[in-house]
Structure formats: structure tokens, C-alpha cells
Structure 1
């Protein structure tokens, strides 16, 4: 097959997307297909030109939108491909848009009885008035420390831990630069567990063995530095989980995938408190996809190589 890989984009995750796209392109070539990379620059322009890119996309059998964050993982590129009637890997417009909107994701999951990280959303004047944010925190029963994050986006860009009024004010201002809505969520003490969800060509949806994150202890939390620039961060897969907990996380991850209407793939991230119930932190409808990324690591533990996973994604999209 001829497979187009769209990568880059104008989001802060531009470089992460390029790394994912290059890894996927290499795997496609190893599978014997023709890989056709299409890069969108950091200003949102198609390097090959938009009209030329459309012609290339329409000549391909499948497209992989290997993009993270706004402009790629939010339904924008999916709608573009839908208009061109081009088969593509991953979730459609609605699930992609909801998945990137952290507040909307949690509102839907909460309505379906799925436990999520407790928090509030700040928009408009609340972003500039710290006192208003404090009142909302109190009303929601949240206490310091809290985490502040842009309402959409990933890779921990713009995420900060706030322990008092001053750090909260700075964190909200920084996050507001990246998104018009900001989430403030209760710090969850416990284990960070990820589940990789994959859809197969026959429609079956399953998860790989869970992965546990042990962030670099020199970093305040699992921030962008700990994710991409630290050799001290450890990913343990399979995560050491009791069978009952492992089964529960697997069922919940698949339920999240299905409730949001996802397709193809997703990574569902959980917090597991030592003395409480697991809660969903977020979903990534196109998670980081380099050979060293969490999603392929989990499937490797299930006996599927990186190229096996890419092959499954292509065949599922084509089907």
C-alpha cells in the first residue's frame, strides 16, 4: 500500500510529532509498503503545499495523522481527511475533539460513572482573577497542592504544580498562554499507570499489559523534562499489579475508549491511590509513537513489535 504519514503541525508538540512520524515511516518501509511523509511546519503550513498535499493524500491507500495536540489530535486533520474521503488511522472528528478537551472528556466520563481526577475549569475573567479561582477551588473542595494544566494539549507542556496562592497565580498565567481554558486539579498521590488500547481489523478492542511510570526523582513530577530528556525516568512494563486491579484497569480503559467513540488506538492514563479507587487522568487519541514511547513499549510486552503495531493500525484503517 501507499501510506501517507502527516506529521509536525503548529502545536507545542511539533517536534514530538516529527519523531513519531519518522518512526512510523521507517516501520511502514520495513513492512514493504511505500511511506510518503507529509510535514506541516510549526506555522501550520504544508511543506509540499496544500494543493499538492491533497493530491498526494488522495493517491494513497491510508493516511496516518501522526500529530499530537491542536491542529492534529483535535479533529481538525480528521475532518480534512473526511472531506477528502481518505481512510485514516485513529479516531474520527468527534472522539478526537473530545479527547483533546480534558474538561469535556472528564465531564462525559463522569456522566457514565467513570471516576476521574477531581478538578475545576477556569475560563475568561477567572484566568486573570486569582481570588475567583480560589473561590472555585474551595467550592469544589480542592486543597493545595494542585496541578494546573492547559485545557487541551499534551506532553506536559504548560503543566505546573501549585502549592500556594503565588505559585497558583503564576501557573494559571503560564497555562493560559497555551489554551483559552485552564484546568486546576487535585494532586493525586499514588501510582501512575498507563493502558494502551488497540483496535484490530476484525473490530476487536484490547489492551496491552499496563505500564507504570517512575519519574526522574530530580523532577517535581512527570513533566516534559522527565518524559523526553531524562535517563532517570523508568517505565516498568508489565506493571506489577494484582490480578483484580489489572483486570479493572483493563475494563475501564476499554470502556473509556468505547464511551468516547474512539477508533484505532488510544492511551488511557490512570492514577491509582494507595488507599483509594483508580481514577482516569486523561486519554491520548494519538499518543507518542516513537519506538521508545509508552504505547509501543506496552505492546512489545504483549509480544507485538513496533512494526506489528503499525501494521495492525494500517490494516484496521483500511478495513
Structure 2
């Protein structure tokens, strides 16, 4: 009988997307075949405390259900040597076979915890340190995509000190370069947290104030009358793109409420595009994925302008949601890859990338 892989699923975290992470992690664990995997849930509280095994269960009760929790507990590996609390668990290759981080936002998809996995020398699902950090910073990601020749909307960005020391100058600059309406975003945050639409100067100032509560760098983008198209990408050196999907938001724009809470936003997969548009958006998704040096998975978001049907890249998300409302698994399902097989593929990709890196290290040392 083949040995089960021990998979540590890490969720929660200190970011503003803590609750979304719990729902995503529950969906991932529900889909994991317990005949193949020995699942070790590891939760991180909003205060940064680590909860291993049964200590992490209370946070999952609402989204995972009692039956699945019982199943997980029945196969739970021994963690008697692991300390709960501020001390990090022993996430070494001797303790787990692979880590599946389901951590959205700050400290989860920005390269922070990926660096810890690298130091622990353990395989992990998703992008590496560099791709995670660059993709998380929307300004840096836009610069990289621009260097790869990918078309984007107009944008400007400002550091907190610049804004609060020269507020009127910054507001004038936005009005001159972008006009109204425009969108204001924290540069390093996901899931549409802290994003506002500004229709005039007072709303712009309020939007900037809000965004700076989350980040020291703020991005302001032109308003683009467009359809919102997304593509799921999967793979390491030879990535594949899913059929594109379209978001039809329940609100003025696809904010946190529309994305995760109200469940009223519509998803259309595949999106109603021409054959040429479908081909183009899938090619652009892979091009941006490779430009950022992504591995494992990413969701690439686009705008399809309503006036001239030009396709513009919006952003790349290296750890997209896995909730029941999330586009990433839905797009792969409609492309022919069911949820459970998607999880299998992601775990294999993590191990393949780890093995390749180990062979490079070995060859350098020999």
C-alpha cells in the first residue's frame, strides 16, 4: 500500500482576509481524499498564534462541519511534540511531506511565509518568495507586466508620507492624470479590501485615507468601463490556462462584500467571448504568469473594454480564493479538472518544484 502524504493545511492568519481563509481552507480539506493524504490542519489566529491539530478545529466548525472534523480527527497524525502558541511548529520535511498554505493577503501570499517554508526546506503549494512578493505589490506587478509588453490601464501611486505631506499636490496629480471616476487601492492587499471608487475630490481624499490604513503605498487607477474577465493558470515551467470566466458583480464594483459575503455576484464560465478573444486572454494569462515567475497556481484578472474591446491586464493573484464562490476552482471544473483532482495536481506540482530545486542544490554541491 502506498504511503499517504502528510499535508499540512495552513489557514487563518493576521490579515484582513482571515475569515475568507477559513472558508477556503475548509473547502480544500473537504475535497482532499483521506485515502491519499494524512491531513494536518494548522490554524493561525488573528493575533499570530499557531494552533496545530485539534487545537485548530474550533475555527473550522462553522465552515467544515462536524462530520468532516470527525474524519480529520480520526486520521490526525501525532503532534504531541508540537507546541501551540507563538512558537512556530516544526514544519520540516521530516514532519510533513508538503504544506498547502491557504492564507490570503498579508503574511500569507506576499512571500513572508513562503520564505519560512524555504528555510524549513519543505515543499509547498503555490508561488515562491519572489513571485508572491511581486504579485502582491500591485504597483510592482504592473511594472513587471508592462516590461513584458502587456497592456494595462493608466495608474499612479504614492507613498503615505508623500500624500500626507503634500495632500493637495497629490490630489491635483490624480485629477490631472486620471480624472474621475477612479479607483483607489492599497498596493499590498488582496480580496478587494480597502478599495474605493472616487467620483470627486472629497471622495478621493476619503478613499486615500482609507487605503493608507492598510498600506504605506497606494495605487490609483483610471476607471475603465469594462467586463471583468478572469483566467485560472496552473503549472510550473509549462503552465496551462483554463477557460475564461466573467464576473458580473452584485455591486458597483467587485468589492469584498460582493466577492465573499452576499453570494449574489454571478459567475459565467466560460465567458461569452469570441474564439479569438478567448485565445488572446488565455495567452496573456500565461505570459503574465511567466513574467512574474509564478509556479503552482494563479488567477489572472483582465478588463475587456466595452468601447473598443481591448483586453487589459488588471492583476495577478497567486493565492486565489477556494471558497464555494471562488472563480479559480470553478473555471478549472468547467475546463475539465474537478476540484479534488485540482488539489491533487497542486500537491504534485509543489513536490515536483521542490525535487527540481533539490537536484539543483545537489548538483552545485557535488
Q: TM-score, normalised on structure 2?
A: 0.82
* Higher normalized contact order (CA 8 Å, seq sep 6+, divided by chain length): 1
Over the residues paired in the alignment, what is the CA RMSD in angstroms? 1.6
Are 2:299 and 1:263 aligned? no
Give matches, 1:57-206, under 5 Å.
Answer: 58-128=94-164, 129-138=166-175, 141-199=177-235, 203-206=237-240
Instruction: Write out per-residue CA displacement over residues 157-177 of structure 1, whole angstroms, 9 at most, x where no aligned residue.
Output: 100000000000000000100
Q: Hey, what's the Cα distance between the residues in 2 that align with 1:290 and 1:300?
A: 14
Are 2:67 and 1:33 aligned? no
- Report SS of the residue matched to 2:278: helix
Q: Name which of structure 1's ranges 269-278 and 245-254 shifts more when overlaid on structure 2.
A: 269-278
- Report SS of the residue matched to 2:89: helix
Instruction: Write out per-residue CA displacement over residues 193-233 of structure 1, whole angstroms, 9 at most, x where no aligned residue.
Output: 00000017xx43111110101111xx221111111222431
Q: Hey, what's the Cα distance between the residues in 1 that align with 2:36 and 2:277?
A: 40
Q: Hey, what's the Cα distance between the residues in 2 that align with 1:191 and 1:167?
A: 24
Aligned to 2:262: 230
Does the 8 Å contact 1:4/1:57 carry over to 2? Answer: no
Q: Which runs of 4+ in 1 moved over 6 A?
A: none
Aligned to 1:16: 20
Q: Which has the larger radius of gyration?
A: 2
The 1:6–1:57 alpha-carbon spacing in structure 2 relative to 1, beyond 3 Å, is farther
Does the 8 Å contact 2:134/2:141 carry over to 1? Answer: yes
Does the 8 Å contact 1:197/1:268 carry over to 2? Answer: yes
Q: Name which of structure 1's ranges 246-255 and 225-234 shifts more when overlaid on structure 2.
A: 225-234
The 1:306–1:31 alpha-carbon spacing in structure 2 relative to 1, beyond 3 Å, is farther
Q: Name which of structure 1's ranges 289-298 and 91-100 shifts more when overlaid on structure 2.
A: 289-298
Aligned to 1:253: 285
Instruction: Write out per-residue CA displacement over residues 51-104 of structure 1, whole angstroms, 9 at most, x where no aligned residue.
Output: 461257741111011111110100001000000000011111000000100000
Instruction: Write out per-residue CA displacement over residues 263-311 of structure 1, whole angstroms, 9 at most, x where no aligned residue.
Output: 0000000011021421111110010012431100000101211111001
Does the 8 Å contact 1:264/1:317 carry over to 2? Answer: yes
Q: Hey, what's the Cα distance between the residues in 2 that align with 1:14 and 1:194?
A: 23
Instruction: Write out per-residue CA displacement over residues 122-164 of structure 1, whole angstroms, 9 at most, x where no aligned residue.
Output: 113333243122232255x311000001011111110000000
Q: Hey, what's the Cα distance between the residues in 2 that align with 1:186 and 1:30?
A: 47
